[in-house]
Structure 1
Amino acid sequence: MGLASVVHNDVRIPFNLDHIRTLSHSPPSFRCSALHYPISSFCSVHLPHRFPLLCSRSIGHDNYVSELKRINAQQNDEIGNIEKSSTQESLANKDYNSSVRIVAFWVCTAVAFGIGLGFKEGFDKASEFFAGYILEQSLSVDNLFLFVLIFNYFKVPVSYQNRVLSYGIAGAVVFRLTLIVIGIATIQRFETVNLLLAAILLYSSFKLFAIEDDDSDLSDNFVVKTCQKFIPVTTYYDGNRFITNLDGVWKATPLLLTVAVIELSDIAFAVDSIPAVFGVTRDPFIVFTSNLFAILGLRSLYLIIAQGMSELKYLQPSIAVVLGFIGIKMILDYLGFHVSTEASLGFVASCLTIGVVLSLASKSD
């Protein structure tokens, strides 16, 4: 093979074959190298992206240069995709770390509030607050699990999820506070309402045990089917718009349907959540503040849940046990058998801790 030059970085470098000590030439998908004494840049040529070393004759040199440019362009595209993916991963990790810090801040704030409440109102009130807060926080996590499934089911782009999440969290606040006001007024007038609330909690506990945790298909979900039946929806997203004009007809986008499903789910979770905290305390101030602190930081908590929900497979059964316990506690209270707040707090915290530990242990195995 009478070689006349080496094409390196689009530059044709002539040389004499007598100066070549070794030459390794492999197909384009493999690495190759050359050693060349007079030219220092060729003393050791290593091609990390697996370019071929293109050696050309004086005849047809332009064809080799064109081929090299084509391979360079292809490799640059691949590098660009890798860099883009790496940048997105870096931003995701940054957002995740920021979310962890925000959630930790709100948890520490809730703990500080509970300690301050204990100094001002006594140990019993502090115990009621912490029991209510832990219970409501665990139910909020379960609510966010459903948010993740809803987003995945409707294939909501990540860039639009924050807007929907804002509506979902705002709805959770409104529905919970509404049920708190209604619930307190009702319980104070009708003590037998406790039995109805206990029945709701026991049914919710059974439902969590009966439903498969890994079933992410919402096609048969009652809320989803109801919304799809009454809301005409397009088959595509139109940016972050909730409504779009299709052939002169205004229709909802899948984003609006997603918001509707999440808001109705908020109502269902509020029906579970508020009776649960009433099973721990009847103090309106503690019911309100424990719910408020549980809701604060939900947006940041969502990002953590979205990335780690597959690692907490035993958390949902733990929540089911807690709801069943609170339901039984409310029945016993109605019958005159009082379970102390300290015992309730210990049981709730222990169940949730066991669920998290078992989940992490099974993941490590």
Structure 2
Amino acid sequence: MFVPLWAWALVMGAVAVMLAVDLFLHRDNHVIGFREAATWSAVWIGAGLLFGVLLWGWQGGDVAGTYYAGYLIEKALSIDNVFVFALIFSAFAVPPALQHKVLFWGVVGALVMRLVFIFVGAELLETFFWTAYVFGAFLIWTGYRMAFRHGDQSPPENNLVVRLVRRVVPTDPAYHGDRFFARVDGRRVATLLFVVLIAVEATDLIFAIDSVAAVLAITTSTFLVWTANAFALLGLRSLYFCLAGLLRRFVHLHYGLAVLLAFAGVKLILSETPIGKLPIPVTLGVIVATIAVSIGSSLRSTASGSTTLPPS
């Protein structure tokens, strides 16, 4: 798929404008309630779906279907990000009014990191056929770990990157409003909010490897992979505030995400065999069915009176 520079510039500009609007509307660091988060989630999801419609008119149904498959798998995997963000915010006791700012700049960093990963990963897959087997095996292994070792994350403050930042950058173990840096006793130091931001970025670095590899299993078009990631990530902040109180009910979701990762790994490996790439309708069907079954079974299992909810 050839994508002219003007299309890249247009999409990058649209993403930048949407981020700027979001930052402007939340400049007062107010606490985001469920209604506001749900409204913004609808806006971001609508933007992601609309982009697929524009692709359909520009490049046809196959390209749009490929984008939607990548968007859906990235959106599903982003729910697991929400679990970890909740853990980080709880561990560092981040005030609710400051959480949006951390997530905003975390998403900006994630967009940059994923852009790099996408170009490197796509180039490897196009140049060396055997990298499909490596990426595929990695996704299958990651799916296995997610299914059977979910919830074993170490405390965020023990993260190697966070510990390194605390050693290298003078840090004050307190919040100073919404500032990442402040002056304490005459010297400029990083605040605890900056440490939280580093924790978010460090964990998203791991998620980026999984999610980019999963979308690359669907297509090696850097434009489609990045736009699928970008539109899914744009709604990540709103998704967090929507789901933060419901996360304990998604008790089976990690099994569904594990299946999606393993499926992406198998799909990537098959693409370098005589079987070839699986049809996009099949891919979309597996993604939608897996997400629906895992969320439906989770809600049914945790319905009132059917089982005891795990602690939040």
Q: TM-score, normalised by structure 1?
A: 0.68
C-alpha contact (below 8 Å) 2:159/2:199 kept by paired residues: no
Pairs within 5 Å for 1:1-365: 95-213=33-151, 217-218=155-156, 220-338=158-276, 339-364=278-303, 365=306
- Cα deviation digits, residues 296-353 of structure 1 (max 9, x gap): 2222112112222112222122111100111111112222322222211111111111
Distance 1:359 1:230, change over 3 A: farther
- State the identity %: 33
Kindly provide the amino acid, as one letter, of the partner of residue 258 in structure 2. A
Counterpart of 1:335 in 2: which secondary structure?
A: coil
C-alpha deviation, 1:122, in angstroms: 3.1
Distance 1:195 1:246, change over 3 A: same
Kindly provide the amino acid, as one letter, of the partner of residue 79 in structure 2. V
Q: Distance in 1 between matches of 2:180 and 2:190?
A: 6
Between 170-179 and 121-130, the greater mean CA deviation after superposition: 121-130
Q: Distance in 1 between matches of 2:60 and 2:144?
A: 36
Kindly provide the amino acid, as one letter, of the partner of residue 346 in structure 1. G
C-alpha deviation, 1:247, in angstroms: 4.2
Q: Comparing both structures, which one devotes a greater share of its residues to helix? A: 2
C-alpha contact (below 8 Å) 1:160/1:240 kept by paired residues: yes
C-alpha contact (below 8 Å) 1:131/1:345 kept by paired residues: yes
Unaligned runs of 5+ in 1: 1-90
Distance 1:206 1:101, change over 3 A: same
C-alpha contact (below 8 Å) 2:70/2:228 kept by paired residues: yes
Q: Which has the higher contact order (CA 8 A, sep 6+)?
A: 2
Unaligned runs of 5+ in 2: 1-29, 307-312
C-alpha deviation, 1:144, in angstroms: 2.3
Q: Distance in 1 between matches of 2:191 and 2:51?
A: 42
Mark the structure with the bigger radius of gyration. 1
Q: TM-score, normalised by structure 2?
A: 0.79
C-alpha contact (below 8 Å) 1:244/1:250 kept by paired residues: yes
Kindly provide the amino acid, as one letter, of the partner of residue 86 in structure 2. V
Kindly provide the amino acid, as one letter, of the partner of residue 145 in structure 1. F
C-alpha contact (below 8 Å) 2:107/2:234 kept by paired residues: no
Kindly provide the amino acid, as one letter, of the partner of residue 285 in structure 2. G
